[in-house]
Amino acid sequence: MHSEIAWERGRQLNLEDFSNLKVLVAGDFMLDEYIWGQVGRISPEAPVVVVEVLRETQSLGGAGNVVNNLVALGAQAEVLGLVGEDPQAGVLREYLSRLGVDPAGLFTEPGRRTTRKTRVIGEAQQVVRIDRETTMPAAPAFTANALAFVDSRLPHLQAIVLSDYGKGALPPPLVRALIHRGREQGLVVVVDPKGHDYSPYARASVVTPNRKEAELAVGYPLTGRDEIRKAGHTLRESLLLESLLLTLGPEGMWLFTRDGGDILIPAQAREVFDVSGAGDTVVAVMALGLAAWGDPLTAARLANVAAGVVVGKVGTAPIYRTELARELAGPGERHPDKIKPPAELRLLVAALQAQGKKVVFTNGCFDLLHVGHIKFLEDSRRQGDCLIVALDSDASVRQVKGAGRPVIGEEQRLRLLAALAAVDYVTVFDSHELPLLLSTLRPDILTKGSNYPGEAVTGREIVTGYGGQVVLIPVSEPVSVSGLIHQIRNAERKALKSPGGKGVKGEGRKGG
């Protein structure tokens, strides 16, 4: 991947700089639940549809989606939030751990319910949303405990994001203290605001309201450019902010800066499928952009590009660093969409499953790709909605198959697999990492050829342990790659012994 990205202002942005950043996300962490089903009839009890449940999925929501975006962009994250003493809190902690994020900053408050939003989806349409939550402000003891936690983390942070959904995890005294501590430490502090009183957000680096949130804060409708410009300057000046970024949906974003300037950044032209989570993407990219390069306009333009990507996705989904690099890359520098690092796949799988899709996983060497491989992959893909192929690295193949293997290097094998219609995503890994890969990705189905006994399938216990399936794909006529190599070598030897055999190797041939 080309990490150096040409920017329109003549600047080179190295997105790999994000890997050196650690961001604290403080706010309202939620569990998004989806109940997927099909609608077949109207209930005889009331004029409502009956949804026959097919499957249920869960994912991180609220401040948790900011964490999703940070991790997807290659950064590290710490969390600070408030949950209840319930099973949903355990699920949130488990999901954060799967992302490689320590959930120690999720404090428990007796009597509080962990925010849970349950969406019932019938025939791809949301039928109803059920909210279970406690919205009362956190007790004063939480503020004291939270600040003690933050003080222990501050020396290792480069930015703080306050993701305020008004559920009580960010009472004003805590907000003020977090902004003060962060700015005193020289950190970037980005706020995704809520409510009509923005005074607790004073002196933050940047606040990112959308149009409706800004209207609530200033008390008048933002129907035209004059009102928008007036509101932006008023909010930034009254709060003593470094910058204010007003997001305007299809109209783009309007950045207001400390020097009194303002600039409208047009939205990226593309089809919009779902705006869910776009605000989370904006604050994550703004925090990383400011922490990495210190320029609010560069960070805002990058956030605008990122938001343009996520609104083109169905459901709440983060922006991946490879996607952002592809959007910024010039002609001829675009990267294959299907080839993903394992760290990116773990987020992709969670997003796909949250959309109700069944993820299939298989792994192997796939050296000298042949018709047997293709049939196996096509049959594997039919087991679900998305097929991920994990490819053994060159070192792993040599360890298992011996000297002289693989015949084709991993980069070529990756591209060959990515070219197949049956394959949705492909990654490369070392074979000893398979248990960790399966535990992290948690695919719905693991496939292997029927020439392997079911009990001998590596990873079977891991997959069945979390409720997944192992499916053996029928292999009627196994093809041996070692046998193919032997045949090729024998044919080459015979050709060399035959009259004019040098020509087979491309030596001594003249003319056409």
Is there a single domain that holds both residue 173 and residue 315? yes
Mark whether 307 and 349 lie in a shared domain.
Answer: no
In a domain, 485, yes or no: no
**Whats the size of the chain, residue-wise?**
512
Based on the fold, state whether residues 271 and 407 are members of the same structural domain. Answer: no
pLDDT for res 333: 45
With respect to residue 494, please indicate whether it lies within any of the assigned structural domains: no
pLDDT at 141: 93
Percent with pLDDT over 70 in the chain: 86
pLDDT at position 370? 84
Could you tell me if residue 463 is inside a domain?
Answer: yes
What are the pLDDT digits (tens) for 141-197? 999 999 999 999 999 999 999 999 999 999 999 999 999 999 999 999 999 999 999
Residue 512 lies in a domain: no
Are 358 and 303 in a shared domain? no
Last residue of a domain, one of 301, 328, 355: 328
Q: Give the pLDDT score at 500.
A: 61
Can you tell me which residue has the tokens 């995890």?
169
Long-range contacts, stretch 474-478, CB < 8 angstroms, 24+ apart: 474/379, 474/450, 475/372, 475/376, 475/449, 475/450, 475/451, 477/372, 478/372, 478/449, 478/451
Same-domain check for residues 404 and 440: yes
Of these ranges, 102-111, 264-273, 453-462, 472-481, the one predicted with the greatest mean pLDDT is 102-111
Q: Which DSSP string do the residues of 3-51 spell out, in sequence order?
A: -EEE-TTSPEEEGGGGGG-EEEEEE-EEEEEEEEEEEEEE-SSSSSEEE
Q: Are residues 346 and 412 in the same domain?
A: yes
- Report which DSSP code applies to 456: G
In whole angstroms, give the CA distance from residue 126 to residue 146.
36
Q: Give the pLDDT score at 199.
A: 97
pLDDT attached to residue 264: 94
Q: What's the pLDDT at 505?
A: 46
Give the pLDDT mean for 391-415: 87
Q: Which of 297, 328, 359 is the last residue of a domain?
A: 328
Q: What is the pLDDT of residue 328?
A: 83
Most confident of 48-52, 336-340, 498-502: 48-52
Give a yes or no: residue 495 inside a domain: no
Tell me the torsion sign for CA atoms 180, 22, 306, 274: negative
CATH number at residue 386: 3.40.50.620
- Tens of pLDDT, residue by residue over 236-267, are 999 999 999 999 988 899 999 999 999 999 98
Top-confidence residue, 453 or 140: 140
Query: Once rounded to an integer, what is the mean pLDDT over residues 40-67?
Result: 91
Q: Looking at the predicted structure, is the pLDDT value of residue 455 above 80?
A: no
On average, the pLDDT of the chain sits at: 87
Other Cβ atoms less than 10 A from the Cβ of 25: the count is 31
Mark whether 213 and 288 lie in a shared domain: yes
Query: Within this chain, do residues 383 and 323 fall inside the same structural domain, yes or no?
Result: no
Tell me: the pLDDT tens digits for 288-342?
Answer: 999 999 999 999 999 999 998 887 665 567 888 888 888 887 544 444 578 998 8
- Answer with the residue of higher pLDDT: 362 or 6: 362
Would residue 454 count as lying in a domain?
A: yes
User: Residues 74, 80, 81, 85: is their CA dihedral positive or negative?
Assistant: positive
The predicted pLDDT at position 30 comes to 96
One domain for residues 405 and 446: yes
Same-domain status, 301 and 349: no
pLDDT band for position 274 (cuts 50, 70, 90): very low
Number of domains in the chain: 2
385 is catalytic: no
pLDDT-based confidence at residue 3 (cuts at 50, 70, 90): very low
Kindly compute the dihedral angle of the four CA atoms of residues 196, 197, 198, 199, in this order, to the nearest 10 degrees.
170
Cα–Cα distance, 139 to 281 (Å, whole number): 29
pLDDT of residue 496: 66
Segment 18-22 mean pLDDT: 96
Residue 269 placed within a domain: yes
Query: Does the pLDDT of residue 347 top 90, yes or no?
Result: no
CATH number at residue 300: 3.40.1190.20
- Given 293, 328, 363, the domain boundary residue is 328
**Which domain, by its residues, includes 347?**
342-475
Assess whether 234 and 311 both reside in one domain.
Answer: yes
**Residue 49 domain-assigned (yes or no):** no
Same structural domain for residues 260 and 402?
no
What's the rounded Cα separation, in Å, for the pair 190 and 207?
Answer: 6
List 32, 164, 192, 280, catalytic entry: 280
Single-letter residue type at 84: G
What are the pLDDT digits (tens) for 482-492? 665 666 666 66
**Token reading at 64:** 């948790």
Confidence of residue 494 (pLDDT cuts 50, 70, 90): low
Give the rounded distance of the alpha carbon of 315 from its chain centre: 12
